[in-house]
Structure 1
Amino acid sequence: MAAAWQDPMEGFQCDGDERWTPELVREWWRDRGRVREWAAALERNWSVSDREDEREAAGGARAYVAYIDDGLADYLRGYLFWLAERRPPGAGEPLPKL
């Protein structure tokens, strides 16, 4: 939150629920390959960098690719539920499809 308070461009609005719709979430998910490839390319380039900070950042890019591959779909299905119902899903409630 400290970054949000100091952001001169006001990029941290905490208003995603007003801007994201189920259709936009599904569209992003369908196009996730572009984001995945971007992160994978960063990981490939940074992992062999001479710069220590880039080699360290390669781990974050690798973790992001892994999350896209395993975990993000479940999170987004829960977020779709939230957007529709404005509450978290209860145990056993079916989640929307991506």
Structure 2
Amino acid sequence: MVFIGSVSSQGNKGQISYAATKAGLEGAAATLMKEAIFYGVRCGVIHPGFTDTPMVRALGEEYIEKHVLPDTQLGRLIRPAEIADAICFMVSNSAISGELWADAGWHPNP
């Protein structure tokens, strides 16, 4: 189970409702993780930043250059395919062997 959060979960001026709901996904995922792990269900949240979508592009190039890109780690908008790739990795079996998934403290008896 993968929730799509947002970097706005850390707070974003003028977006209290949006930030609160995205932050709430972290609590929901943590709770589901603790309950669903016993059934083999993994839960996670991905928090992409500003994404290259028509909605973001509608802000205008000048606004994006001045107010969005300076606050991004990549210095550019994220491509939707990059988010999809991250989600595919998260749900793939290759992700199981790493420390990507929290385990709610449960470990099978050796």
Structure 2-normalised TM-score?
0.32
Relative contact order, CA 8 A, sep 6+: which one is greater? 2
Structure with greater helix percent: 1
Structure 1-normalised TM-score?
0.34
